[in-house]
Homo-oligomer: A and B are copies of this chain.
Amino acid sequence: MANNKHDVIVIGAGLSGLSAAWLLHKENVDVVVLEARDRVGGRTYTIHNSDVGYCDLGGSYAGPTQNRLFRIAKEVDVDNYILPDKDQSVWLENGKAIPFKVTGYFPFFWNPFIYTDFNYLMREWDRMGEMIPKDAPWDCKYAKEWDNKTMQQWIDENIWTKTVRELARQQVNINVCAEPEEVSMLWFLWYVVQCGGFLRISSNTNGGQERKFHGGTQQISIKISERIGSERVKLNSAVARIQQNEIGVMVTTLDGDTYKADHVIISIPPPLTAHITYDPPLPPLRLQHAQRIPMGSAMKCIAYYKTPFWTKKNLTGSIIAVDQKCPFVHVINDTKPDGSFPAVVTFVVGNKAREFIVKTTEERKRLVCEYLAIAYDNEEALHPVHYLEKSWMTEPYSGGCYTAIIPPGQLTKYGKIIREPVGRLYFAGTETATEWSGYMDGAIQAGERASRQVLHTIGKLSADEIWQNEPQSLDVPAYPFKNTFIERNLPSVGGFVSFFVSSLLVGGAVAGYVIYKNKLIDVSINWK
């Protein structure tokens, strides 16, 4: 037992927990990491075999402003590469595929109503988002009003065209693996803005999907784990109980192993924090909070081909699907940067994931390939040489992916407690981040912040050093997104309609005045 006493126990060897442990380790704090699974990496998981080379089944993409991720990756010698983004993407709607030249992420909509609607959505999400404090969305002036609405309500009230309503749904789908009717409007708008806004979160070039890591993302966790010392990272150690008192904390695993420490950093998805038995019990609002922040619903389905046949038609492989029947909402080329293992990765999320998971692998494979064939207008898509899939809903130690979602009303009722320590317990995990929360970068921010909270508690750091800004990566520069004058000033479709009606009224009045002045009509009402 005596040798199981440490300064700090970190629960969860995902990127957040390991970032926390590494920072403490560098400060000569005696740390041990307890991991429920038989591997590190959490929601980053890279498989290796001769069919696929390597493949990220979980978190994979990175882009400008994710400076903490690039700093850590560089420190452990994991290189990144830029995804191809020069050729055409495909827009899939109502079973029809329309190739388009990528400008950012979205096509240019020639239909003026659709263009106006889309422009309004993009501008409004950012405009509202900028009113939401990243570190305290509950302090937003409109917090209650927006939190008590679902994103679906905002879409119903503001978007006029079917295409942009479907696109708005697709954007909620692809960003948070949920449907607009199940998430708080305040939370979703916060989610977008804390990633840097609509274009930053959705773009390939200059956005969240600009790059991938050579050899996969799980390596980063594996290499951190090696730096800390693998004897400090205990696999197959699911935590069942945490007991704390004035002397310290004792953590007991499901198999009955015990570890003692002065402090504990809990770095697991929020709904899973309630799976542990606490003595004394967690405070009531934290207990109920854990019931109110479920994980998103996501599958990745990857199809491998003999050749990257889509390039023959100058396609990058990217697909934006706003098609109700198509199982995926988004596709990205997953061919290795040297051209080996031609492949595309499809994202099946939200309702589509819930419907997909009850089918057989064969059914899923067939459906994915059928819709790839439609999108690429090429029957070669029907004949993959290999098919790979991963359901994160099936993983008890993740509970879902990418991140926790927040239903209406809950962010203002419970949100505040997410980063509040409970005695000797501190909370990390990407959900507790204030920048790129839900992403690998947020996982690192949260882990390092939780470690600095502990360092502050043990007198190694002042309070104002807990939160630290990250300098911009020199290797991965971020550029601002420029909106054109038209994008900034074009009214909404609603605005157009008001304008049109006002014009009619004003025009009518002017015409009436002209008619009257020129005595073109004789109007007389004579009361008898």
A residues apposed to B, CB below 8 Å: 147-150, 152-153, 179, 181-182, 238, 240-241, 254, 256, 271, 274-275, 277-278, 281-282, 284-285, 287-288, 291-295, 297, 351, 354, 357-358, 391, 393-396, 399-400, 407-410, 413-414, 519-528
A410 contacts across to B, CB distance below 8 A? 182
Point out the residues of chain B lying under 8 angstroms from A274, CB to CB: 271, 274-275, 399
> What is the distance, in angstroms, from A351's C-beta to the closest C-beta of chain B?
7
Partner of A287 from B152, B238, B292, B394 at Cβ < 8 Å: B394
Looking across the interface, which residue of chain B has its beta carbon closest to that of A519? B528
CB distance from A523 to the nearest CB of B (A): 6
10 new A-B contacts, CB < 8 A, other than A150-B150, A524-B524, are: A181-B409, A182-B410, A274-B399, A285-B354, A288-B393, A520-B527, A520-B528, A521-B528, A522-B525, A523-B525
Does B291 lie within 8 Å of A351, measured CB to CB?
A: no
- Contact assessment for A407 and B278 in the assembled complex, using a CB-CB cutoff below 8 Å: no
Q: How far is the CB of A125 from chain B (nearest CB, A)?
A: 20
Residues of chain B within 8 A of A414, CB atoms compared? 354
B284 and A408 within 8 A (CB): no
Is the beta-carbon distance between B254 and A413 smaller than 8 angstroms? no
- Given A288-B400, A408-B407, A521-B525, check contact A254 B281 (CB 8 Å): no
User: In the bound complex, do residue B525 and residue A399 qualify as a contact, i.e. CB atoms below 8 Å apart?
Assistant: no
**Shortest beta-carbon distance from A208 to chain B in Å:** 24
Complex Cα distance, B527 from A284, in Å, reads: 78
Cα distance A294–B288 in the bound complex, in angstroms: 7
Q: A408 and B291: CB pair below 8 A?
A: no
**B residues near A525, Cβ cutoff 8 Å:** 521-523
* Known A278-B396, A288-B295, A292-B294; contact A409-B522, beta-carbon cutoff 8 A: no
Asked if B241 and A254 make an inter-chain contact with CB atoms under 8 angstroms apart, the answer reads: yes
A240 to B295, CA, bound (A): 22
Q: Is the CB of A284 within 8 A of B150?
A: no
Q: Which residue of B lies closest to A395 (CB)?
A: B281
CA distance A344 to B51 in the complex (A): 71
A295 to chain B: which residues have CB within 8 Å? Answer: 288, 291
Evaluate contact between A281 and B408: CB separation under 8 angstroms: no
For the complex formed, measure the closest distance between the CB of A420 and the CB atoms of chain B, giving whole angstroms. Answer: 12
Query: Is there an interface contact between B281 and A288, defined as CB atoms closer than 8 Å?
Result: no
Given A150-B150, A408-B407, A287–B357 Cβ distance below 8 Å? no
CA distance A271 to B256 in the complex (A): 24
Inside 8 A of A524's CB, which chain B residues have their CB? 522, 524
CA distance A277 to B285 in the complex (A): 24
